[in-house]
Structure 1
Amino acid sequence: MELSIPLDYATDPRGAADQAAALERAGLDAVWVAEAYGFDAPSIMGYLAARTERMKIGSAILNVYSRTPALIAQTAAGLDAMSGGRAIIGLGASGPQVVEGWHGKPYDKPLGRTREAIELIRRILRREVIDHHGITDMPLPGGLGKPLKILTQPVRPEVPLYVASLGPANVRMTAEIADGWLPTLFVPEKAKDVWGSALAEGAARRDPSLGPLQVVAGGILAIGDDAAAVRDFARPQIALYVGGMGAPGKNFYNSLAVAYGYEKEAALIQELYLSGRKKEAAAAVPDELVELVSLCGPEGYVRERVAAFREAGVTMLNVIPVGPDPARLIETVKNWL
C-alpha cells in the first residue's frame, strides 16, 4: 500500500504545494490536486513537478467536459515530461453543478464521455494518428481539419488514468477500463455491499494487460489518545458533499450516503445545507459515518483503520494529516504499510 495526501481547494496553492513537497522526505508517495471550480489543477501539478523528485502527482479530478480528450492527453504528456514520468491523470464526469453551472456545458452522456476520453487519451499518448467519430469528432467532418498525431514524444506511452466514480454503472466501467479508482467518502466496512457487484462485473471484462485496478481512498489522519476529536473536522466537508454537491435527486454523494444506510440523515443534511444552515448540516452528519471515513484515535486504533482500508482493497491510502507535525504522522503510517 502506498501513501498519498489530497491537495484540496487551497486559498494559497503555492504554500500548500510547498507543504506537500516537504512531506516527500517523510515518505509520501503521491499528492492529488483538486480542481472543481477553484484553481486549475495542472498549473499546481506543474509547480509540484518542479518542487519534488520522487512522488507521483495526480489530478483529482479533471472533468471530461471542460477539456477535450486531446487537451487532456496533451496535459498528461506535458506533466509527465515535467515530472520525469510521475504524472497520474484522475478523470471524472464531475456533476451538473460544476459542468453546467461553471463550464456552461450540457451534462450529457457522462459514462460515454469518460469511456471515449480514456480511449482517445491512450491512443494519443501512443502517438497514433487520430481519426475518430463519436461523442467527439476528430477531425470535424466536412471541415479543413485532418487526422493528426501528437507532435511531441511522450515520456511514457501510457500515463495512468484513474476515474472518480460512485454509481454502479460508472464503477463497473472504471473496473473494466481504468488504471485506478478514486472513490469519495469511502467506508471500507461497507464498500463490498455498495460496490462489490459492480467491481466484480467490470473486472470480468477487464483487459489483463491493464493489471489490477488500483484504489485510492482514506480520510483525516490523527494519532493520539485525544485524536478522536479531530474527526469533527471532517463534518463540514461531508455535509458539503452530501448536502450541497448537487440538487435533490442529482447528488451522487447523497445517494452514496443512502446506500450506506443513512437515508434519513442524508435527507436532513441536504435539507439543512440547501437552506443555508451549513453548521446544522455538519452537526447532522452521523457520528458513525464520520468515524468510518476517518483514521483518528490512539495508535492501535488507527492501525486497525489502516488494516480495514487495506482489506477493502485500497492500494493507496489517501490521508489528511492533522496535528503539529504532519511529517511525523506520514512517517509513522508509512512504517506500517
Structure 2
Amino acid sequence: MDLGLNLGYSGSSIGEVLPLVTHADRVGLDSVWAAEAYGSDVVTVLSYLAARTERIKVGSAVMQMPARTPANTAMTAMTLDHLSGGRLLLGLGLSGPQVVEGWHGVPYGKPLGRTREYVEIVRKAIAREEPLSHEGTHYEIPYRGADATGLGKPLKSILHPLRPTIPIYLAAVGPRNTALAAEIADGWLPIFYSPEREAILTEHLDAGLAAAGRDPADLDIAATVYAAAGDDVQACRDRLKPMLALYVGGMGSRDKNFYKDLMVRYGYEAAAQRIQDHYLAGHKAEAAAAVPDELVDEIALVGPLDRIVDRLAAWRESRVGTLILGTQQPEILEPIRDALG
C-alpha cells in the first residue's frame, strides 16, 4: 500500500505546510495532494510544491472540471507533468451544484455524461495522436454552434507531452459516479472510506469494472483518511468532528448532500440528520458534538500512535491501494509508513 499526504485547501498557508511536504518527500511518501473549491486553486499549489520537492508525486484532489474546458485541463496537466518531471496525478471532480452554479456560473447539467466526455477529451488531447476533435452531447470540438465563426479547426497541442498518458483519478461519492470512475479512470478518490463497510462502496465500483471488462487491479483506490495523533483519544476525535460536521451538515443543500447520503448508507441516518439540522440552523458546535465517536473511529485514525498503528490492520486488509493521510503532524508519517510496509 502506498502512502500519500492530503493538504486540503492550503493555498494561503502553503508556507506553513511546505516543511511537512518536504519531510514527506524526504522520508519516501508516494504522493502529496491538494484541493480547490471556491478559493485557492490547486494548480498554483501543485506547481509550487513540484518546484520545492524532488521525487514525491503531486496530485490534484481535485481539479474542478466545471472550472476549465477539457482542453484547458489537458494543457495544464501536460505543463505540470513537464515541470514536475512526470510526477503528476490528475485528480478530477465535478464538485456540487452550489459551487458549480453559484461560483463558476455554469450549469451543473448531467454529471455522468459530462464526466465521460470530459475524460475522453483530456486523454485525446494529451495523447496527441491526431488533431483534437469531439462531437458529443456536452462538448463539441471544434465548436460549430449557431454563433461560431466557422474558422475553428482541429488542432494538436504545440507542447509535446512528457508522457502520452497521465493517470486520471476521479473523485466520486454517489453510486453512479463511483461506477463511472471504475469504468473510465485510472484511480478513484473516495472520502470518508470505511474499511469495514467498503462493500457498500465497492458494490458500485465492481459494477463499473464489470461494465468495462476491467480487472480490479487496474484501478487504484486512493482513499483519504484524516489522522489526529495524541494521548487523549477523545480530544483527537473532537479535533476532526467540526470538519465532518461541515461535510455532512453543510456541503450541499438539505435535499442534496452527497456526504450526508454516504453516512446514511453507512447506517448513521439519525446522527446524520441531527448533524445537518444543527449545521443548517447555524449551530456548528452542536453539529460537531452530534458526530458519533464510532463514526470517527471508523473512517479516521485517532489517538496514540500505537492505537493508530493497530487500526492500520483494517486498512491493509481493504482494497485501498493508496492511503492518503489528512494530517499536519509530520511525526506520524514515518511510523505509519513503516507499519504499512
Match of 1:253 among 240, 259, 265: 259
Q: Find 1:327's aligned residue among 318, 326, 330.
A: 330
* CA positional deviation for 1:20: 1.6
> 2:29 is paired with a residue of what secondary structure?
coil
Contact 2:6 2:224 in 1 (8 A): no
Q: Structure 1 residues 117, 209: CA separation in 2 closer, same or farther (over 3 Å shift)?
A: farther
Q: Is the CA contact (8 Å cut-off) linking 2:230 and 2:236 kept in structure 1?
A: no
- The answer to whether the aligner puts 1:147 opposite 2:149 as a matched pair is no
Scaled by the length of structure 2, the TM-score of the pair is 0.93
Given that 1:6 and 1:33 are in contact with CA atoms closer than 8 Å, whether structure 2 keeps it comes out as: yes
Q: Which amino acid aligns with 1:311?
A: E
Query: CA distance change for structure 1 residues 88 and 210 in 2, over 3 Å: closer, same or farther?
Result: farther
Q: CA deviation at 1:246?
A: 0.5
Structure 2 CA distance for aligned equivalents of residues 209 and 312 of structure 1: 16
Greater CA drift, 11-20 or 107-116: 11-20
Q: For residue 280 of structure 1, what is the aligned residue in structure 2?
A: 286
C-alpha displacement of 1:26: 2.1
Distance 1:331 1:250 in 2: 39
User: Which secondary structure state, in structure 2, belongs to the residue aligned with residue 220 of structure 1?
Assistant: strand
SS of corresponding position for 2:222: strand
Give the aligned residue type for 1:95.
G
Structure 2 residue 239 is the aligned partner of structure 1 residue 238: no
State whether residues 130 and 148 of structure 1, in contact with CA within 8 Å, keep that contact through their aligned partners in structure 2.
yes
Give 2:132's match in structure 1, choosing from 130, 133, 149: 130
Report the equivalent of 1:4.
Answer: 4
Amino acid at match of 1:119: E
* C-alpha displacement of 1:207: 5.6
Asked if 1:74 corresponds to 2:80, the answer is no
- Aligned mate of 2:235, from 229, 234, 244: 229
1:152-231 matches, within 5 Å, as 152-192=159-199, 194-206=200-212, 208=214, 212-223=218-229, 225-227=231-233, 229-231=235-237
SS in structure 2 at match of 1:47: helix
Identical pairs, percent: 48
For the Cα contact (< 8 Å) 2:190–2:224, is it kept in 1? no
For structure 2, the residue ranges without an aligned partner over 5 or more in a row are: none
DSSP 3-state at the match of 1:188 = coil
Offset at residue 206 of structure 1 (A)? 3.2
**Contact 2:229–2:236 at 8 Å: present in 1 too?**
no
Change (3 A) 1:165 1:178: same
Where has structure 1 moved over 6 Å in runs of 4 or more? Answer: none
> Cα gap change, 1:22/1:303 in structure 2, threshold over 3 Å: closer, same or farther?
closer
SS in 2 for 1:65: helix
Q: TM-score, normalising length from structure 1?
A: 0.94
Amino acid at match of 1:328: E
Q: Helix, strand or coil for the counterpart of 1:319?
A: strand
- Determine if contact 1:91/1:163 at 8 Å carries over to the other structure: yes
Give the SS at the match of 1:233. helix
AA paired with 2:330? A
The corresponding residue for 2:295 is 289
Give the Cα–Cα distance (whole angstroms) in 1 for the partners of residues 337 and 165 of structure 2. Answer: 27
- How far apart are 1:316 and its partner, in Å? 1.0
**Which residue of 2 is the match for residue 268 of structure 1?**
274
1:71: Cα distance to partner?
A: 0.6
**Pairwise CA distance, 1:224:** 5.4
Between the aligned partners of 2:215 and 2:133, the Cα distance in structure 1 is 24
Per the alignment, do residues 2 and 301 of structure 1 end up closer, same or farther by CA in structure 2, a change over 3 Å counting?
Answer: same
> Residue in 2 aligned with 1:17?
18
Q: Is the 8 Å Cα contact of residues 18 and 49 (structure 2) preserved in structure 1?
A: yes
Could you tell me whether the CA contact under 8 Å between 2:228 and 2:240 is conserved in 1?
no
| Cα distance between partner residues in 2 of 1:276 and 1:94 | 23
**Cα deviations by residue, 1:288-323 (Å, 9 ceiling, x for unpaired):** 11111111234443233222123221111111335x
3-state SS of 2:91 partner: strand
Residue identity matched to 1:89: L
Contact 2:36–2:42 under 8 Å retained in 1? yes
Q: Which moved more, 1:130-139 or 1:50-59?
A: 130-139
Say which is worse superposed, 312-321 or 147-156, in terms of deviation.
Answer: 312-321
CA RMSD in angstroms comes to 1.8
Aligned to 2:339: 336
Does the 8 Å CA contact 1:45/1:58 hold for their aligned counterparts?
yes
Alpha-carbon distance between aligned partners in 1 of 2:157 and 2:216, rounded to the nearest angstrom: 23
